[in-house]
Amino acid sequence: MTFRSALGPKPGTRRSSLGHARGLGSTGRGTEHWYWERLTAVALTPLTIWFIVSLLSGVAADYESMRAWIGTPLNMALLGLLAFFYFWHAWIAIGVVIEDYVHHEATNIGGLIVLKMACFLFGAIAIVSIVLVGLGG
């Protein structure tokens, strides 16, 4: 938005204030993004604390002990949830940044597509890796 558009239509134009305001308003998706971003942050908080405390307790001393730790069903499920919520949260948060600050439409859409594909790909790789290591692969 330019400085002039923030002030309204140029003097002498035939556009009304309502005509000028159309197309500059909300898309109606801000509340939805805000809600899901907060929900994933709330889910990530205890999962991240659990993960950090687990690593600091020495479970990652060597590969075999780490693999045995990941192999327990509870730890495998919690690691899978951590990866899922992490990439979902990243997709929402970075998507909002792209939508807000990338003003060229083609770059905006391309960035959102690449972001969605990257988050899905890396999330799937993380979850498959957790399952493979946990099952002894």
Q: pLDDT of 78-129, one tens digit each?
A: 999 999 999 999 999 999 999 999 999 999 999 999 999 999 999 999 999 9
In which band, very low, low, confident or very high, does the pLDDT at 20 lie, cut at 50, 70 and 90? low
| 31-64 pLDDT, tens digit each | 888 899 999 999 999 999 999 999 998 777 888 8
Q: Which domains does the chain have, with CATH numbers?
A: 29-134 (1.20.1300.10)
Burial of 23 (C-beta count, 10 Å sphere; 0-12/13-18/19+): exposed
Position 7 scores a pLDDT of: 57
Position 18 scores a pLDDT of: 62
| 58-67 pLDDT, tens digit each | 777 888 888 9
